[in-house]
Structure 1
Amino acid sequence: MITEFDAWGVDERQFWLRGAVPDEIVDYNAEGRMWNVYGHPEAVGVLSNPRLFSSNLMRLMAAEIGADPEEAQAGELLYLDPPRHTRLRRLVNHAFTPKVLADLEPRIASLTHELLDAAATTDRFELVSALAHPLPVIVIAELLGVPASDRDLFRRWAESLIPTTSEDFSLAGRFEGQEEATAATMRQREEFGEYLSEYLEDRRRRPCDDLLSGLVHAEVEGERLSDKEITTLADVLLLAGHLTTTMLLGNTILCLDAHPDEFARVRADRSRLPDVIEESLRCLPPFAVTTRVTTAEAEVGGVTIPADQLVMVWIGAANRDPRVFDEPAEFRPGRDPNPHLTFSRGIHYCIGAGLARLEGRIALNILFDRFPEIATIPDEPPQFIRSSQMLNAHKLTLAVSS
């Protein structure tokens, strides 16, 4: 697989995001003051134990970024532990129930056709701007109850949530540019909050059948959510309901392009598509690392990690652990089992996983129907977002035949 990807001029170390299990399953980065977990069973153990491995990073990070811990994590599902996490998660779960997802199928199919029609392509188009970005943005905007026409704003806000350098994870002190990057992210969030404020006020006066109305009128522990909490929850939904699908679509096409035999098989037998998506998720997880903080001394892979330590769980490496996956470097749709950790495990399992899989299956089926041939263009290799958390194509031009 790496041979094909090298042809795109992508640095192997950056592309795989530590996507191979090293000799040491757990190691310590003294410069960054953080522990790295690479093995699959070890990762499962960390992600499945929120009592010992907390998601409340702000306990350690607040001092580094000059923020108040309680204020910084208000409504932050990604950084909350039970019981607050359980109660807030329950509020947004109903936006992704099996019934809601099933009801969305016709709309997703219709949008896919509309977006491809609008691309007006005959022999080439850019996948991300034409389909992979706008499709999930429109869907999540309609679920929230805000105008899908603002999708460019949504994209900017969503991408502002993603750190772009490895220093973003470090507790070793302030790095050059870190304060500026943090301030820029906060400005984007303030802008998003200002944008949502008029819709929140409108839903207070005139509730609708959308997620914002549900959040505005919901109570947790006998109290209504603050505007900041609702905005932060919307941030999470924007991230979970938008970027996961955008990256899933692009990365699945990249995997198939690198393996034309598998591409031909799935075209001939569409029942194989869910397996292709799952193997693409394993090989190229949209987010290849997640973070926890120890609440007490903990043992992981035979290594003792002290309390109050930053723990990096490398999903990209865990997904290629040879103790769990036979020939992990091979792209092999139909692995059974395929217990990849791309959508995490435990209480923080990605809330948008079902929606991403659904949108991916529908959109890819339609792409295959409309274009008998799809391939990357050697002279126009994919352009990737460089990030310490993930790597996906933000520009993917494809040659197609109708």
Structure 2
Amino acid sequence: MQMNVASEQVPNPFSWYRKMRREHPVVYDEQADVWHVFSYEDVMRILADHATFHKVLIPPEVQNTINPILSSVLQADPHNHRRLHNIVMQAFSPQVLTTLEPRISEIIDGLLEQVIVTGEMDVTNDLAYPLPVSVIADLLGIPAELHGSFKDWCDTIKREPTIETTNPKFQKMGEYFRQVLNDRRLHPQDDLVSALVAAEINGQRLSEDELLGFCVVLLASGTNSSTGLIGNAIFCFDEQPEVMDILRAEPELMSGAIEEVLRYRAPIQALRRTTKKEVVLGKQHISVQQDVVAWIGSANHDEAQFPDPENFDIRRRPNRHLAFAHSIHLCVGAPLARLVAKKTLNSILKRLSDIRRRRDIPAVPVRSAWVSGLKTLPITFKVSP
């Protein structure tokens, strides 16, 4: 079977997902030489069964051109990945995140102040993207005078699918972080890099390449997750404006609303794995060393797992979505993305009213089958009294 996945996916994939779950829950794409998997049960298995499905993000033909600091994190085997994950998660503990809240609020207020007098803004470019960039810069201890260069690095990572050693911007970024690591070893500070340098489990600490790799991955995944989540939330709220009134009246429902956004419009719609051994999925026999695409977006709309999945329900319980993957490959930036989104959306609903998406200026989706997000999301609003 041949599929033009990208054209089916953008911008509203739900009917295509439903059709594939019913007619071809596990299907081989001859043109792309890849298996596509759509049901919740099978996608969950792919994400959880590390003995059968290997996380391969860097194609073999380009591995020699990839910066080794990145491959050390992305290509870690399950044992080492678990060690990396556990160490890194120490830096995203509830205690650490609590200390970030005042600064996150300060950044949000500053960004809103720049647009609030105009009565309109582009949610993506005025708020959802610059916010996590600034937060992660602070997390990594980047001084204010280097925030411009830091944003440039983030923009470059966002544009380029691979991180090549020959790219001068990545070389400068690597050189800068090596200097930061050396400084934090000698002079620890109250920032994420110092926490990562000091973190250990059973006497083991991250190597310098692992630390550098994590910094790069955090720039890429941290900004994309938070940006996509905030933009998709406003888009979902615009589709059902009564949700904003409910959340203003009952702000304690915001955490559940964010989980429903993650289910309904997950920022990352699919992940790729490679089989380490022969496996049967959905009555299909898949041989070893076959690429498999696990469609998270489809799994999150599977009727077998979520009653009335096309209904956006901020009170949905339970909500075992797979937006941040699963098991040892659970996104390490998930707690930060949730915190940033919660504080941002609460601030928007508190300070702004009559929020409406501009129909005369289309919201521009990210043209990707793998990502659900918006390059632009123009809205109008009034300032709340």
Deviation, structure 1 residue 225: 5.0
Are residues 209 and 43 of structure 1, via their aligned partners in 2, closer, same or farther at CA, if it must alter by over 3 Å? Answer: same
Residue pair 2:69, 2:212 contacting (<8 A) in 1 also: no
Q: Alpha-carbon deviations, 1:251-286, whole Å to 9, x = none?
A: 100001011222332233222222221111111111
The aligned amino acid for 1:81 is D
Deviation, structure 1 residue 156: 4.5
The aligned amino acid for 1:233 is F
Deviation, structure 1 residue 293: 1.1
Q: Is residue 2:337 matched to residue 1:356?
A: yes
Partner of 2:72: 75
Deviation, structure 1 residue 201: 3.1
CA–CA distance in 1 between the matches of 2:157 and 2:322? 21
Are residues 70 and 81 of structure 1, via their aligned partners in 2, closer, same or farther at CA, if it must alter by over 3 Å? Answer: farther
Partner of 2:272: 291
Q: Is residue 2:109 matched to residue 1:113?
A: yes
Q: Is residue 2:211 matched to residue 1:211?
A: no
Deviation, structure 1 residue 69: 8.9
Are residues 182 and 136 of structure 1, via their aligned partners in 2, closer, same or farther at CA, if it must alter by over 3 Å? Answer: closer
CA–CA distance in 2 between the matches of 1:11 and 1:30? 17
Residue pair 1:193, 1:231 contacting (<8 A) in 2 also: yes
CA–CA distance in 2 between the matches of 1:187 and 1:240? 21
SS of 1:20's equivalent in the other structure is helix
Map 1:42-121 → 2, pairs under 5 A: 42-58=42-58, 61-62=59-60, 64-65=61-62, 67=64, 71=68, 74-76=71-73, 78-121=74-117
Partner of 1:14: 10
Partner of 1:314: 295
Residue pair 2:69, 2:210 contacting (<8 A) in 1 also: no
Residue pair 1:73, 1:80 contacting (<8 A) in 2 also: no
Residue pair 1:293, 1:311 contacting (<8 A) in 2 also: yes
Partner of 1:6: none
The aligned amino acid for 1:198 is Q
TM-score by length of 2: 0.87
Deviation, structure 1 residue 231: 1.9
Percent of aligned pairs with the same amino acid: 34
Map 1:308-347 → 2, pairs under 5 A: 308-347=289-328
The aligned amino acid for 1:67 is N
SS of 1:47's equivalent in the other structure is helix
Partner of 1:261: 242
Q: How many residues align?
A: 374
SS of 1:307's equivalent in the other structure is coil
CA–CA distance in 2 between the matches of 1:223 and 1:335? 41
Partner of 1:35: 35
SS of 2:72's equivalent in the other structure is coil
SS of 2:274's equivalent in the other structure is strand
Among 221, 236, 239, the alignment partner of 1:240 is 221
Q: Alpha-carbon deviations, 1:276-310, whole Å to 9, x = none?
A: 21111111111111111111111222222111111
Among 363, 373, 379, the alignment partner of 1:382 is 363
SS of 1:99's equivalent in the other structure is helix
CA–CA distance in 1 between the matches of 2:194 and 2:114? 32
Residue pair 1:297, 1:305 contacting (<8 A) in 2 also: yes
CA–CA distance in 1 between the matches of 2:242 and 2:259? 17
Greater mean deviation of Cα atoms: 137-146 or 277-286: 137-146
SS of 1:15's equivalent in the other structure is coil
CA–CA distance in 2 between the matches of 1:263 and 1:281? 17
Structure 2, unaligned runs of 5 or more: 1-5
Structure 1, unaligned runs of 5 or more: 1-9, 169-180
Residue pair 1:16, 1:316 contacting (<8 A) in 2 also: no
For the aligned residues, what is the CA RMSD?
Answer: 2.9
